[in-house]
Structure 1
Amino acid sequence: MLKQEAEVREVLVFDIWGDFAHFKKNYATTSALTYNFPPRNTIAGIIGAILGLKRADFPEKLSPEKSYIGVSILSPIMKKTITMNLIHTKPSESLIFKNNFGYFKKHTQIPFQFLSNISFRVYFSTDDEEMFSQLYTYLKNHKSHYTVSLGLSNLLCNFKLIGKKTIRKKEVANKEVEVLTVIPMNKVKEVNVFKNPKMNIENLPRFIDSSRTVHEYQEVLSSMDPEKPLFVVPRDTLWEIENDKFISFL
């Protein structure tokens, strides 16, 4: 019986970083909390901004069915809470108030949680060869069509191409492996907490369409220590990027 050849893909690897980042947890109401790393849809938006894709187009063009997106955390997770002055929007109240100094516009003060001095590594692949080639050219020349940000438009983001790499899909069920990226919990059978005790599980949106409707959530395991990868026993297959080192896609 002939042995089936392993699936092979080419991935673009690039780093993104900035002074501050905010990836809002949509279930947080009274204060704006942030995820520890960008959800899949946020990374798709960053790629869309580099390529110049319209806001209404990138969710479908970079959907989980059409692209592969993975991320690893490169810096320590440090969070700061800063109170922001937002525009007062209650229709039942006047938007102007007067005191001894004159007339002023009302503002609403909301605590925002930010990640500070943060950096991530992104792994991207797609069957669309034109898109893949175009993104490689933009990254190589350090150019983008739109300004790139980390969650909010005023949190500017820098980026740098690491290169192209070939990955191979490999059957690793019932075998402990080293994973360089965050990994969805539905792909994990066991976790080795002794090799890396600093881990976190978050429930993130996986796909948000152009009307901002969330179609799917997923629980994702991440390492809180950038010096230590995850050590897990997968349920079936993962993508090998180096000898016995693996990545996973969101």
Structure 2
Amino acid sequence: MQVLTFDLVGKMAHFRKYYANNTAMSFSVPPRTTLMGVLAAILGFPRDSYYEALASEHLRLGVGLCTPIKKSFHRLNFLKVESSRDLDGSKGHIQLPFEVISGYDLARDTVRYRVYVTPTATGEVVFGQLVERVLGGSGPHFALSLGTANFTASLLDGQLHEQARTGSSDEVQDFHSTVPTERVVTLPVTREDGGSLSLEEELLPADFVGDGQRELRAMNRVLFSTDGQPLRARLRGEYVEIGDGNETQRLLFLE
């Protein structure tokens, strides 16, 4: 199994929770639909044209949080829109809370997500194009961001793991990606160093109905650590391992 990994790094992030219509709240990690947009920007796909080509039937995607994060609310001016005629700003503005993800120290810290990609039997062509873009030197076709366009992101540390393998265990282990909640059997009460756990569970949008249609057809309920450390858990079923004995990463793809 081949697994492509790369990091998305930026100062701030915002992945809007689509069901909050009067407060711009943010998911802590990019949903699969956002990752599809990132891949589409790397490949140069036009807007709303990639929902079928990058669907979970063709590419399996995973994501991990590599740095500690915090969330803070800021009040921003938005256009007050009550009808299509108000998009010119004639109704004035309204202030709404806007949730921003950042590191603990904004001057020094960054937000870093690791993306994992592997193809199914029908996704080999797109996967090959993605590998060429990430590793071939040409870089992304369009600029990348962590959610909104003004939160720009860099693509770093791209690697192709040719010998990814599956495994399973009844032991508590470290997992470097989000994990589906239904796969979790046991969570330790504290970390190995005695510190408390910093965990979140979120329901993330996964796939759209089809190209040009932003209606959801699947969701992912996942659990993950927000302190930049791997999630320690005992899981049921198989997982994927990449790397060697010096630095092994265990991950699960968004299902």
TM-score bracket relative to the smaller structure: 0.7 to 0.9
In structure 1, what is the equivalent of residue 74 of structure 2?
A: 82
Deviates more, 1:122-131 or 1:228-237: 122-131
Q: Which runs of 5+ in 1 are unaligned?
A: 1-8, 98-103
In structure 2, what is the equivalent of residue 197 of structure 1?
A: 197
Q: Look up the SS of the partner of 1:131 in the other structure.
A: helix
Q: Cα gap change, 1:92/1:122 in structure 2, threshold over 3 Å: closer, same or farther?
A: closer
User: Is contact 2:80-2:86 (8 Å) kept?
Assistant: no
| CA shift for structure 1 position 164 | 0.9
In structure 2, what is the equivalent of residue 237 of structure 1?
A: 238
| CA shift for structure 1 position 46 | 0.2
The separation in 1 between residues aligned to 2:84 and 2:43, in whole angstroms, is 42
The separation in 1 between residues aligned to 2:59 and 2:124, in whole angstroms, is 11
The separation in 2 between residues aligned to 1:57 and 1:94, in whole angstroms, is 28
Q: Cα gap change, 1:89/1:37 in structure 2, threshold over 3 Å: closer, same or farther?
A: same
Q: Which runs of 5+ in 2 are unaligned?
A: 103-109
Q: Cα RMSD over matched residues? A: 2.3
In structure 2, what is the equivalent of residue 215 of structure 1?
A: 217
Q: Look up the SS of the partner of 2:45 in the other structure.
A: coil
Identical columns (%): 30
Q: Look up the SS of the partner of 2:52 in the other structure.
A: helix
Q: Cα gap change, 1:89/1:12 in structure 2, threshold over 3 Å: closer, same or farther?
A: same
Say if 2:118 is the partner of 1:125.
Answer: yes
User: Is contact 1:203-1:218 (8 Å) kept?
Assistant: yes
The separation in 2 between residues aligned to 1:93 and 1:213, in whole angstroms, is 25
| CA shift for structure 1 position 27 | 2.3
Q: Cα gap change, 1:156/1:92 in structure 2, threshold over 3 Å: closer, same or farther?
A: closer
In structure 2, what is the equivalent of residue 249 of structure 1?
A: 253
| CA shift for structure 1 position 47 | 0.6
In structure 1, what is the equivalent of residue 132 of structure 2?
A: 137
Structure 1, residues 35-87: CA drift from partner, whole Å, max 9, x if none? 11101110111011110123333221111111111111111112232222222
Q: Cα gap change, 1:110/1:73 in structure 2, threshold over 3 Å: closer, same or farther?
A: same
User: Is contact 2:61-2:116 (8 Å) kept?
Assistant: yes
TM-score, normalised by the number of residues in structure 1:
0.84
TM-score, normalised by the number of residues in structure 2:
0.83
Q: Which has the larger radius of gyration?
A: 1
The separation in 2 between residues aligned to 1:96 and 1:153, in whole angstroms, is 21
| CA shift for structure 1 position 130 | 2.9
Equivalent pairs, count: 234
Q: Match for 2:98 among 98, 107, 112? A: 112
Q: Look up the SS of the partner of 1:212 in the other structure.
A: strand
Q: Look up the SS of the partner of 1:30 in the other structure.
A: coil
| CA shift for structure 1 position 105 | 6.6
User: Is contact 1:204-1:218 (8 Å) kept?
Assistant: yes
User: Is contact 2:201-2:221 (8 Å) kept?
Assistant: yes
The separation in 2 between residues aligned to 1:91 and 1:26, in whole angstroms, is 20
